[in-house]
Amino acid sequence: MPRAEHSTVNDAVALLTSDHDKAKQLFREYERLARIGDISLKADLALQICMELTIHTQIEEELFYPAFRNETGEDELVRDAIQEHAEAKELIAHIQGMSGDDQDLDSTMALLRRAIEHHVTEEEREMFPKARQSDVDLTRLREQLADRKEQLEHDMGAAPLRSGTREAVGERSAVGKADS
């Protein structure tokens, strides 16, 4: 019998939704940096966004999607999500090969943002509610997702980069606002 009640505060869906919110915030910050013409910081942030999305897609594909598919039988939703990930991965690979002053960086980041926004909307409107109504143990799955995410961040060196970039973004943002 499907579960009608899941603790939504600290479950797998909440973790993935938090990642989605973080990606939206990073894209907004990227657009701000693009407007003010901060090429160096913009390039660093583009790489951070790519790393965050790479980790997020990997934990979804390795852990969330299989658990969701096994409990719901929603093969088509999972296939669609994996296809959307493949499209995002192509854009990410392209971005990772660009420099901050590449004329196509902003337009490619805009394409990635639109692809991610579409993907996030579908997951949050269709997949996540079905996961919450299923027998997926979302609390246990959250622990697995968090552990794998931490491992990937360590393996990819994401934690130091993310922290350093965030500090630099904050410092430069404060300077930019003071100069305005």
What tokens appear for 103 in the block?
A: 């004329």
- Cα 125 from Cα 117, distance rounded (Å): 12
How confident is the model over 76-90, as pLDDT tens digits?
A: 999 999 999 999 999
Cα dist from 101 to 18, 98, 165, 178, whole Å: 31, 8, 18, 25
Burial 139-148 (b: 16+ CB within 10 A, else e): eebbebbeeb
* Domains located in the chain, CATH noted: 12-172 (1.20.120)
The CA-based dihedral angle spanning residues 86, 87, 93, 95, taken in that order and rounded to the nearest 10 degrees: -150
Q: What is the mean pLDDT of the chain?
A: 87
Confidence grade of residue 8 (pLDDT, cut at 50, 70, 90): low
Q: Quick check: 166 pLDDT over 70?
A: no
What tokens appear for 172 in the block?
A: 């430069």
In degrees rounded to 5, what are phi and psi of residue 28? -60, -45
